[in-house]
Amino acid sequence: MKRGTRLILILIALALLPVIVKLQSSIDPGRKQFQPGRGVASMVTEVNNNPVVMPSQFIAGTLIGFREVVAGLLWIRTNDFFHTGNYEAVIPMTRMITWLDPHQIDVYRTGAWHLAYNLVDSSERADYRFLFPGIKFLEEGIQNNPNVSDLEFDLGFLIYALKKQDFVKAQYWITKACQESDATNPMKRQIAHMLEKQGKIDEAAAEWRKMLAQAISDLKKDPNNFHALEHRNVCKRNLDLMLVRQTMRKDLANHRLDVKFEASFKRLGPRQFQITGQLLLPIGSRVDVMLEDADYKEPDMKSFTWDVDPNQTVLADTGMHGIFVDGGKFSRKFDVTKDSKQYPFKAERYKLTLFFNPRIATDYTQDFTGWNGEGITDKKYLDTSTPGLRIIKKVIYLKREDII
């Protein structure tokens, strides 16, 4: 090609570039909503000052209609951050990717998981404040991708069941997931588990029977259907175990065990303290811990934002992370001297809640307590404020000087 011809073609291409950008904007009605880079500076400030910005060549790619391509390239870069342990950099990257391509299911799932689980303190304790942005990020993903079971299931199981122990909302979202065409049998089995976690044993048993009947019907149609065979065996086993436990535990309310709960807080030094106590339940039982500003309220977020109040303090050791009970005693030392960002302790007063919830206890512990705590009592700390549930709870109010 002659040099003059090449120059003419380059000039034509440059002249057409503004036209391409203009046309791309008009044919892509969602472009403004998912404008790349919008709000990135705010994220960089909020998440550990990570220098995460979109390279100029990537921005150019989005302008001429290659948003999905750019999103894919950024996702590759995000995986590099993940595998090097730079979890805080993952969050702004997932935000940029979903602006570019709001149909990246795995990005929504991964971003919410990192928010809820991977922004941790020096003891690997997740930052409870970021749980709520994680919820909203998944809700945004569901809104942009209706009828996709994975997002709805993650919101129900990974967030509401495992992190918040809110089994009513967990059941709601898992049920929605199971109504989608791509739902799997393991997803469907979680409906029965969530009913059991709420202490609704008859309803849970009915759910197991319904799934068992469907699996048997599928096997009659195709005896070589491995998934139906596995589903039938799991449903039958869980139903049988539940019925055995129901029989074993039916008389617990008539012979309640006094757990004689006690708990105390001791300051060991600046940002160091110890929680000890007594709970007369089997080894492996757990005592949950919530230490929060005395006036703390969970945020009512209308839409996704990564901003959390940097002045709020919430420390949560709950569920499987609760304090281990051994020989009727429990104790744990807390050292948050390296975690002033996650636990700023700016308030003057704090609320320390120590509690045992039978609905999240192990099967072995529930053999003593029952699903709803019907087998336990306590002269000082029995809490029956939730209808149908008996928990053990003690609240201790602290001053800032008790901790700092």
Question: DSSP string covering 97-116, please?
Answer: HHHH-TT-HHHHHHHHHIII
Task: Give the pLDDT of residue 117.
Answer: 93
Question: Any alpha helices (H) in 54-127, and if so which ranges?
Answer: 56-63, 67-83, 87-100, 105-113
Closest by alpha carbon to 176, among 215, 139, 210? Answer: 139
Mean pLDDT per 10-residue segment, the chain (404 residues): 56 48 46 38 35 43 46 52 59 75 87 90 94 95 93 97 96 97 96 97 98 97 95 98 96 96 98 98 97 95 86 95 97 97 97 97 96 98 96 98 96
Task: Give the pLDDT of residue 240.
Answer: 98
User: In this structure, which amino acid lies at residue 394?
Assistant: K
Residues 121, 111: Cα–Cα separation, whole Å: 18
Place of tokens 């429990």: 330
Closest by alpha carbon to 282, among 378, 363, 201, 382? Answer: 363
Task: Give the pLDDT of residue 386.
Answer: 95
Place of tokens 């403004």: 32
What number of CA atoms fall less than 13 Å from residue 1's CA on the CB side?
Answer: 8
In contact, 42 and 307? CB cutoff 8 Å: yes
CA end-to-end span of the chain, whole Å?
75
Residues 288, 355: Cα–Cα separation, whole Å: 5
Task: Give the pLDDT of residue 378.
Answer: 98
Buried b (16+ CB within 10 A) or exposed e, 108-136: bbbbbbbbbbbbebeeebbbbbbbbbbbb
Closest by alpha carbon to 358, among 348, 369, 349? Answer: 369
Handedness of CA 193, 194, 196, 200 (dihedral sign): negative
Task: Give the pLDDT of residue 43.
Answer: 33
In contact, 44 and 88? CB cutoff 8 Å: no
Task: Give the pLDDT of residue 130.
Answer: 94
State the burial class of residue 203 (Cβ atoms within 10 Å of its Cβ: 0-12, 13-18, 19+): middle
User: How does DSSP assign 260-298, residue by residue?
Assistant: --EEEEEEEETTEEEEEEE--S-TT-EEEEEEEETT---
CA dihedral 240, 241, 245, 247 (to 10 degrees): 20
Tokens of 247: 């029989």
Task: Give the pLDDT of residue 104.
Answer: 84
Task: Give the pLDDT of residue 347.
Answer: 97
Domain residue extents for the chain:
185-250, 256-402
- Coil, strand, or helix at residue 124? coil
CA distances from 67 to 30, 61, 70 (A): 11, 7, 5
Residues 404, 400: Cα–Cα separation, whole Å: 6
Task: Give the pLDDT of residue 31.
Answer: 44
CA distances from 74 to 6, 144, 145, 215 (A): 33, 20, 20, 42
Task: Give the pLDDT of residue 360.
Answer: 95
Residues 377, 177: Cα–Cα separation, whole Å: 38
Task: Give the pLDDT of residue 90.
Answer: 66
CATH 2.40.33 assigned to domain 256-402? The reply is no
Distance of CA 80 to the CA centre of its chain: 23
pTM over 0.75: yes
CA distances from 374 to 57, 193, 256 (A): 64, 19, 7
Task: Give the pLDDT of residue 65.
Answer: 45
